[in-house]
Structures are given as structure tokens and as C-alpha cells.
Structure 1
Amino acid sequence: MRILLTAALLAATSLPVSAQNWKDDYRIVRIGITSSENEADRMKRYEPWKAYMEKTLGVEVELFTAGSYDGIIQALAADQIEVASVGSSAYAAAYTETNGGVVPLLASQEMSGATGYYSVIITRCDGPYKKIEDLKGKAVAFADPDSTSGYAVPFYNLVQQGFNPNEYFGSVTFSGSHEAGVQGVVAGSFDAAATYISDIDGKDGVPVRMVNKGMIKDGEVCKIWTSPEITNGPITVRANLPQDLVAAIKDAYMKAPEADPVAFQSISGGDTSNKKAMSKSITSAINGSLKCVIG
């Protein structure tokens, strides 16, 4: 995905008064990473970002991984992590779980100017399933109960289109991650699975990244259903953090494309060539995300 970090709605009024020096209380800043891919690849991809954040914040940074999206939500609720990049559905779940104890800090924008992505249902390209109607009575996998593109959006839209997954498909299961769902389709464990693409043409997203990593072959999976555009979810911080720490985290994310292009690209696949676009503000991104989840 070619994304650009951009300022969204920072609800500063909900943040506590800044400590005299946040580093006195936060000698370690912990970043939560969701389970859209296998843990080994997650950790490897985030190492440059960890190094960048340590250098920028001036404190130790730890990466926190969980086997499910709910693990990140619970970690935010239990004050076990300070920041995480989550989808709209996971943000809404975290907001509910913490009784408003999380704050949307930043959203992202594509180089094209788009502020969203798409959920897709994929099947084997050489299989018999070419449209949703072909999946009646078949085994379909969703990624995670708290995944926006891997569950909430496709489930809701399929119901609206007359294909209630619990009634129309033969079985519905959670694969645990986007990559696991795609691998299950390739292996024949599932007839179809929900995942996401970053642009309508499918030039980036989970299937393309898996091809690039050698996890699946090019042309093994094809999309047979695409959702309406989903507004990008927010980089989220706990609402009880000192304002100076929140400002430092926000500043680090905003400066990353120019300050450390390698670290920026490692977590986003972002293109750092368009500096003007990178500074563009998206004031409606967070509202759009929440509206997408709520209705």
C-alpha cells in the first residue's frame, strides 16, 4: 500500500494534563501490532520502525503482538500498550471496551488521494467459484471478529445484499489472520475467504504482498466480490497518556516519511516521493471510519 501519514482529528480535550516530563513515567513506549500477517513477518517488518521510534522519542520501544485483534484491544484497555494502528472496527471495539479511553490520532491517505481501502472475497482462480452465488453451501473464512475488512464490512454488506453468511454459506469460520485465510483458500481448506486490497484494481493488499513474499503464487487467488470503500482506520493512543507523549508520538509518525523513509516504508509500503501530498490534512478521516462501522 502506498500510504501517506496525515493529521486527523486529535481529541485533545479528552487527554490528561501533561506531566512535567513524560519520560520520567514512560521509559518504555509499547506499540501494538495487529495480526493481519504471521508473527515472524510482522516482527521483521516493524524492526526498522522500532529503531526509528526509539531514536525519535529518546526512550526504549517495545513491540507487542497478539494472536488476535482482540488481544490489541485488551492491551489498550489494560494499559499494556500506548499506541496501535487499528482498523475502524477494532477502534470502535477498543473505544467501547475502554469506555472512551482511546483517542484517534492519525489516519492515512493513498498517493492517489484516496482515504480508504476495500474488503474482498477471494477464491482460487482455477476453481469453480466466480461469484457470491456460487458459494451457497460452501466453506467461507473471515479473518477475525474485530477485523473491519476481514469480517465487519463484508458480513454487513453481504447481509444487505441478501447473502446472510450464517445462512447462505455451508460453514463460516475465523482463520485468525488475513494471510491464514488466503493460505487456507490456496490449500483447499476454505472455498473462499475475506481479506483486503488497498486499491480497487487490486495492485496492492494482502494477496499481492503474499505473492511478493513467496507465500502464494501469482494468479492463484482471484477476487469475486468487492465491498464499498472503507475509510482507513486510525493510529490510536490511550486517552490517559500525557499530552507531551501524545504530541511526540504524533510528531514521530508525521515526520517519518522524510526523517526515515526505510522505516516508513517498512510499516506502510509508503512512497516518500510526494512531499506535498504527505503534508495534506484529512480532517474527516476518523469520522468516516466510525460511521463505516456504526452504520
Structure 2
Amino acid sequence: MRLIAATALLTILALPAVAADWKSDYKVVRFGVLSSENEKDRVARYKPFEAYLKKTLGVDVELFTAGNFDGVIQALAADQIEFAFLGSSAYAAAYTETNGGVIPLLTAVQEDDSTGYFSVITVRCDSPYKNIEDLKGKVLAFADPDSTSGYAVPNYNLVQQGYEPSTYFSATPFSGSHEAGVQGVVNGQFDAAAAYINNEKSGIPQRMVSKGMIKEGEVCNIWMSPEITSGPFTARANLPAELIADMRAALKAIPEADPAAHKEMTGAENSTAKGYVEVDHERYQWIVDMRAWLKAQRKS
């Protein structure tokens, strides 16, 4: 009996050391953010979250950005960063690139309890374009090859609806980011551009209005996709389980632990994200399958 009690006591005493062990191997924890908006605003938006993580995890934390989505995906694959906020398609790309070496942890939940968003095609409101038929022979800008709402979903769904982008439009360039695409529409560089919205209050166009980049009522959506599963906050699968658990807990707690950082990170005044829910890979398998379909179409 004494032996059992002593063993139990030793186990309890050892738990804190085990839980904190990852900190001896990871002096710096790095998380990546996709290029949905310009670099300056992207960095500013995630700085409060970076500070929150440093305080909560008790280690240095660094934000990682890249000029395109693939830069963040490759950083995960090369073990250069530990975590990343990914869109659904970027997660699927990372999953494929790493042969299943990434784990989806959490995704955002909105005020209406939805955990999805929508791809939209935007045009200038004062343009003659009111539907996809009006865009025949015009320039439609996609955002990035690894963007869910900015390329994969609109491309896939337009094909299913009978509009093969490569032949229906005069050109389908990549703008580099959602904001650049919408800005290009406003400036007359593109006739239309793919972006995303969470709902009528929150999304890329609404955020650009709140930042003074475009005017209210300057762009309108003329097409919307079926609902897309929100992208996951993702971890490398080869990380210590304790590190993954601590990061998951930190992100899940931020709406109450640091409301200001959470609000800034999710879009400041036009954000409708209220928190996070846990997700698994099965939720995103259809995106993996869609990307495989798109790849096969390009090869053929």
C-alpha cells in the first residue's frame, strides 16, 4: 500500500515537469498568417495576439508572414514554423505537402454560431455587371492558387455551373491577395475579383471599408458560393502533445482572456467572430478532394 502511494506521489510530482518540458526545446514558438491583406495591416492585426501568446505560454513568440500562401505552407512543411492560421484550401495543401503531417486544431465560430464563410465575386457597383453572364469575355482576378475562397472554391463551382474560367473569361490573373483583387476592381485593373465574406457584416470588402481603403457601396457581390468550412488554426503533427494542447487552450481562451487582442486579430470593429471550436481532419477532406480534382483538370 505504501509502495502504491509513493508511486502515485512521484507521478503527481512529475506532472508539471512533463507538461513544461516542451519549453526547454522550443524557446521560440512561431505562427504563420496567410497573405489575405497587405503586409503592414496583417502584422499590426496579429501583434496583440503575439503579445498575448508570449504572456500565456511563457516563451518568445514570433509572427511569420510570406508574400503568398505557399510561403506559409512551405514553412510548415520545412518545420520553420510550429502553427499557422490557414484557409481550408491552404490547410488541404499543407496536408498533402506534408503527407498528413499537420493537424487542424480550432476554427472560428461567428455570432450566429456558424463556422463557415462564402466565396464571392465582386465588381464595382457602378459597373454594368450584375451576374456571371455579364462577365463573359471580361477579366476575373483570383487571389492566390492556394486560397480557398479566392481560387479553389470559385473555380470549382464556376466549372460545375457551366462557366469554365479559362475559356469563359478573357483572363484570370492572380492578384496576390484578396485585398489586392478588390482594390484592383475599384481601380479598374480587373472587371471582377474573388474574395470572401463571413456574412453581411464581416468579410474582406467590409474590412477594407472600415480601414478606409475603399468607400461604402463601391463594390458589390454578384456571385456567392455554397458555404465553405472555415479554415483551421493548424499545428505540425510532429510537435510535442503538450505544446499543441497549451496552444489550443491559449487560442480557445483569448476571447475572454484578452478581448482586445481577439477583436483586433479577427477584424477589429467589423468582426463577428465570437470564439473557436475544435475541428478534425474529416471536416476538410472534401477540400483535399476538390484540390485533387482541380489538379487533375489542370493536367488534362
Tell me the TM-score range normalised by the shorter chain. Answer: 0.7 to 0.9
Paired letter, 2:45 = R
Matching residue of 2:85: 85
Contact 1:230 1:292 in 2 (8 A): no
TM-score, normalising length: structure 2: 0.86
The equivalent of 2:6 in structure 1 is none
Flag the 1:125–1:293 CA change in 2: closer, same or farther, 3 A.
Answer: farther
How far is the alpha carbon of 1:71 from its aligned partner?
Answer: 0.4
Asked if residue 290 in structure 1 is aligned to residue 285 in structure 2, the reply is yes
Shift of 1:288: 3.0
**TM-superposed deviation, 1:293:** 4.5
Structure 1 distance, partners of 2:86, 2:255, is 20
How many residue pairs get matched? 270
Structure 2: gaps of 5 or more residues: 1-17, 291-300
Q: Distance in 1 between matches of 2:267 and 2:124?
A: 26
By how many angstroms is 1:109 displaced? 1.2
Q: For residues 215-271 of structure 1, what are the alpha-carbon distances to aligned partners after superposition, in whole Å with 9 as ceiling and x for unaligned?
A: 001111000000000011111000110111111100100111111111111111489
Residue in structure 2 matched with residue 184 of structure 1 by the alignment: 184
Give the Å deviation of 1:278. Answer: 4.9
Partner of 2:118: 118
In the alignment, residue 255 of structure 1 is paired with which amino acid? Answer: A
In structure 1, the residue matched to 2:264 is 266
Give yes or no for the alignment of 1:97 onto 2:97: yes
Once superposed, which parts of structure 1, at least 4 consecutive aligned residues long, lie more than 4 Å away?
A: none
CA spacing shift, 1:121–1:110, aligned 2, 3 Å: same
Deviation at 1:287, TM superposition (A): 2.6
- Residue 203 of structure 2 is matched in structure 1 by 205
Q: Secondary structure in 1 aligned to 2:151?
A: helix
- What is the aligned partner in structure 1 of residue 293 from structure 2? none
Q: Secondary structure at the match of 1:173?
A: coil
**Structure 1 residues 213 and 118 mapped into 2: Cα distance closer, same or farther (>3 Å)?**
same
What displacement does 1:110 show? Answer: 1.1
1:238 corresponds to: 236
How far residue 88 of structure 1 moved from its aligned partner, in angstroms, is 1.0
Q: Would the aligned equivalents of 1:153 and 1:293 in 2 still touch at CA under 8 Å?
A: no
Superposed CA offset, 1:178-215 (max 9, x none): 0000000000000000000111xx22100000000000
> What TM-score do you get using the length of structure 1 for normalisation?
0.87
Unpaired runs of 5+ in structure 1?
Answer: 1-17
Report the Cα distance in structure 1 between the residues aligned to 2:139 and 2:275, rounded to whole angstroms.
42
Aligned to 2:174: 174
Select the residue among 214, 217, 232 that pairs with 1:216: 214
Task: Give the drift of 1:156.
Answer: 0.2
Q: What is the rounded CA distance, in whole Å, between the counterparts of 2:288 and 2:161 in structure 1?
A: 17
CA RMSD of aligned residues (A): 1.9
Question: In the superposition, relative to structure 1, how do residues 28 and 257 fare at CA in structure 2: closer, same or farther (>3 Å)?
Answer: same
- The residue type paired with residue 125 of structure 1 is C
Partner of 1:4: none
